[in-house]
Amino acid sequence: MSAVVIFLLLPVVSAVPAPATSSTLGSVHSPVSPELLASASGAFAFVSNFEDRGLDGWSSAAGKAPTVTMSVTYGGEPSLASSASQGTQVDTASRGFKPGDTAISFQVAIDTRSGEGVFGLGNGQAALALVGVSNGRIVAGKDVAHLLDLGPVPTGTAYPDGWAYFAANVYQGSNSNWVMQVFVDRTDKIAATIPVPNAGGYSNAIIETLSGSAHYSDVVVSTYQIPIYDPGYNNMEGYGQGSGLLVNLLPAYFNLTAQMNLDSWNTPQAGMLSFQINAMNSTGTTKSTCRGFFQLGIDLDPNGRIAPWYVVGKNCEAVYFLGSGVGRSVPSPFPTHLVLTILDAQSSNKIVFTIKDTSTAQVFNATIPYSGDAFYGAYTQLEWQPCCNKYPIQEFKFDGSLYGIQITPVSGPRTSLSSSYMLPFVLDVPPTWNFAYYRDSTDGYHQGT
């Protein structure tokens, strides 16, 4: 099932206690490989979810101009309304695109209850790889003249009623032939693999509304892989991987530290709302899988309790510091201040997870064995899980911030992360949350109730 996931990388605005230096760890990790650098050199991510009610760079190439509307929403999020009232409507966007990569991923949610439409990669007005809905059926192909029927629109999914969720991996396969793997509703099972011979000439995203009025939201186009093959996991809407939006590799580093303020929260159910940081090795950074990323965070549980946890980099499952069941959470009276650290202690082949609750003097600490490569990516999250909840998201309240995020490279001093390292975006957050992502503001980002 999908989750509401907010991925943000934050600028550093205040100092934290100095972590260990590379000299205290013995040997250090080898530098990033030339292959990894090459794979990231043309990286980009285009995000279009219309949170600011703007067009996000979309414009009409044929037909009437598209508009952003709240009359049809994707789980409370605005949508782009595109109408074929004057013939096929073609809309394009190319902000931040870098041509020439050999692999591109994209995702889109489409509501076509009042129309038919497709989305994908294009070169100007020429479509190169498309997915969408026509006549109540899922379709995909290299262009609208070559759409294959992939079956009926799924029902009873994790997504809002009437919406179909699509994702695709488009890449240069064997014999230099370009293909598109299509995923519908889930990202662990390929719905179809389709030849898209001209996809390598992509220069923009493209929407073609074929009839009526269709609505589009939750758009991401990225040079990092979005669909993967772990059941129940979607790195953009699932259990917490945001590598699809990383736009630069970090220098190899071994320590990620951040500070967290929790001014207040009110959650009716345990285990549904969490706040966390993430450090990824080369696999976790560039492949967007459940392997190679290490998470550290807390669940915001009822009655002012927090449940600290970590993820070991081999799966997507949280391990609670205090064990499972009722005893996994402890009181932490408002306002709460936490310091979170993920340390790769290479000399002892361990990763050390630490959360210090300065409000109560509690320290949560765990170690796991690790002999992999250094960290090359990082991001932060506020995540709400709709899979097992008994209450609507509007009943979950939170007021807090995450800031002071820093890394310690294997070669060089501790450093702040530039706000340009990762594109900020918010998916599926109800307007009642009034969530404002960072724009180099004092505390990164702040969630008001």
Per-residue pLDDT reduced to its tens digit, 71-105:
998 877 789 999 998 788 999 999 989 999 899 99
36/88 same-domain check: no
Asked if the model's pLDDT at residue 168 lies above 90, the reply is: yes
Per-residue pLDDT reduced to its tens digit, 286-318:
765 678 889 999 999 999 999 999 999 887 788
202/248 same-domain check: no
195/249 same-domain check: no
Q: Fill in the DSSP letter of residue 129.
A: E
Q: Fill in the DSSP letter of residue 271.
A: T
Domain boundary among 190, 222, 254: 222
Total residue count of the chain as it appears in this document: 449
Q: For residue 227, is it within any domain? A: no
Asked if the model's pLDDT at residue 189 lies above 60, the reply is: yes
Q: Which of 332, 335, 333, 331 is nearest to 261 (CA)?
A: 335
126/70 same-domain check: yes
Q: What is the dihedral of CA 47, 74, 290, 413, to 10 degrees?
A: 40
Residue with tokens 């389709």: 194
Half-sphere exposure of 30 (CA within 13 A, CB side): 7
**Residue 434, domain CATH:** 2.60.120
* Angle 361-398-439 from CA coordinates, rounded to 5°: 100
Q: For residue 316, is it within any domain? A: yes
Q: How far apart are CA 224 and CA 103, in angstroms?
A: 8
> Of 67-71, 120-124, 234-238, which one has max mean pLDDT?
120-124
Residue with tokens 């669940």: 299
- H/E element holding 286? helix 282-286
pLDDT of 238 reads 35
- Helix, strand, or coil here: 194? strand
Q: For residue 229, is it within any domain? A: no
Q: Taking all residues of the chain, what is their mean pLDDT, rounded to a whole number? A: 79
Per-residue pLDDT reduced to its tens digit, 352-400:
999 999 989 999 999 999 998 999 888 877 777 766 778 877 788 877 7
296/161 same-domain check: no
Count of domains observed in the chain: 2
Q: For residue 38, is it within any domain? A: yes
Q: How far apart are CA 147 and CA 371, in angstroms?
A: 47
Burial level of 251, CB count in 10 A (0-12/13-18/19+)? Answer: middle
325/433 same-domain check: yes
Q: For residue 230, is it within any domain? A: no
* DSSP secondary structure of 386-401: -SS-SS-GGG-EEEEE
pLDDT of 244 reads 53
Asked if the model's pLDDT at residue 221 lies above 50, the reply is: yes
Determine how β-strand 293-301 pairs with β-strand 126-134: unpaired
187/211 same-domain check: yes
Asked if the model's pLDDT at residue 273 lies above 90, the reply is: no
Domain boundary among 222, 251, 266: 222
The contacts of residue 324 (CB under 8 Å, 6+ apart) are none
Q: Which of 424, 439, 436, 443 is nearest to 47 (CA)?
A: 424
57/175 same-domain check: yes
357/313 same-domain check: yes
Query: In the structure encoding, which two tokens stand for residue 241, read together?
Result: 């991987």
pLDDT band at 216 (very low <50, low <70, confident <90, very high): very high
Q: For residue 199, is it within any domain? A: yes
Cis omega (within 30 of 0) for bond into 335: yes
Per-residue pLDDT reduced to its tens digit, 416-444:
876 555 554 444 444 444 333 322 222 22
210/255 same-domain check: no
Amino acid identity at 76: G
**Residue 78, domain CATH:** 2.60.120.200
202/96 same-domain check: yes
Domain boundary among 222, 255, 286: 222
CB 149 within 8 A of CB 165: no
Q: Is the dihedral of CA 26, 32, 34, 35 positive or negative?
A: positive
Q: How far apart are CA 76 and CA 70, in angstroms?
A: 8
Q: Which of 177, 105, 189, 106 is nearest to 151 (CA)?
A: 189
Q: For residue 235, is it within any domain? A: no
pLDDT of 79 reads 92
Q: Fill in the DSSP letter of residue 172.
A: E
- Helix, strand, or coil here: 127? strand
Backbone dihedral angles phi then psi of residue 416, each to the nearest 5 degrees:
-85, 155
Q: For residue 233, is it within any domain? A: no
Give the domain extent around 171: 45-222
23/68 same-domain check: no
